[in-house]
Amino acid sequence: MTYEQVSKETEMSMWESGVKKRVLYAGTGDVVDYQEGTKAVFHYETCKLDEPPTVLDDSRSQEKPMELIFGKKFKLEIWEKCLMSMRVGEVAEYICEPKVVVLYPIVAKSLRDIQQGKQDRPRHCCGMSSDNSLGYADLDELVKHPQPLAFIIELLKVEKKGEYSQEAWQMTPEEKKAALPQLQEEGNNLYRLKQFHQAADKYAEALGCIEQLLIREKPGDGEWIDLDSRKIPLLLNYAQCKLILGDYYPVIEHTTSVINRDEGMFDLT
Instruction: Give the pLDDT band (50/70/90) at residue 266.
Output: very low
Across the chain, which distance is largest between two alpha carbons, in Å?
A: 78
Name 103's Cβ contacts closer than 8 Å, sequence gap at least 6. 75, 76, 125
pLDDT of residue 14: 66
8 — phi, psi (to 5°)?
-65, -45
Please tell me whether the overall predicted TM-score, pTM, comes out greater than 0.75 for this model.
Answer: no
Continuous segment of H or E residues that includes residue 212: helix 196-214
Tens of pLDDT, residues 163-198: 776 666 667 788 888 889 999 999 999 999 999 999
Buried residues in 207-243 as b, exposed as e (16+ CB within 10 A)? bbbbeebeeebeeeeeeeeebbebbeebbebbbbbbe
**pLDDT tens digits, 24-78:** 999 888 777 888 889 999 999 999 999 999 999 999 988 789 989 888 778 888 9
Helix-, strand-, coil-residue percentages of the chain, each rounded to 5? 50, 15, 35
Cβ contact 115:33 at 8 Å:
no
Mapped onto helix, strand or coil, the DSSP state of residue 73 is coil
Over the stretch 156-168, which tens digit does the pLDDT of each residue have? Answer: 999 887 777 666 6
